[in-house]
Amino acid sequence: MSDIRFVMIGVVVLSVGFIVMAVFGSQYQDITVQTKEFSECYEYTDENVAVKVDCDEQLQSRNLIFVAVIGILAAGGILLVKGIRGTWDNDVKPEEMLGPGGDKKDDS
């Protein structure tokens, strides 16, 4: 793959990481506040009925989502850096070149 493709894939993966954090992170915001302020945690249904939930279990699932998002962001960052620093497109041997003039092999 070319360097530009790595840059483009890195930007897309970083964007996906931020979108995942925005979508899935918002549901854990209430649990975080409840854990810090109160001793019991509640989750509210669509009918505004409070359901008592285990705070530790919710915090553990929040941490798993956070680790997954950090992994996605790290992968995007690695791809982006690899694309920016990559010079392997310029280090092609003359006998491996394709295109105009690439089919001429030096037999000497």
- Residue among 9, 4, 31 nearest 79 (CA): 9
pLDDT value of residue 70: 95
Give the number of C-alpha atoms closer than 13 A to the C-alpha of residue 21, restricted to the C-beta side. Answer: 15
Model-level pTM?
0.68
Q: Report, as ranges of residue numbers, the positions in the chain whose pLDDT lies below 50.
A: none
- Other C-beta atoms within 10 Å of 17: how many? 20
pLDDT score at 93: 73
Q: What is the pLDDT of residue 18?
A: 93
Beta bridge partners of 52: 42
Q: What's residue 107's pLDDT?
A: 53
- Going 74 to 79 to 83 to 88, the CA torsion angle's sign is positive
Is residue 44 within 8 Å of 51, Cβ to Cβ?
A: yes
Please report the pLDDT score of residue 39 as a whole number. Answer: 80
Give the model's pLDDT for residue 88.
60
The confidence score (pLDDT) of residue 89 equals 58
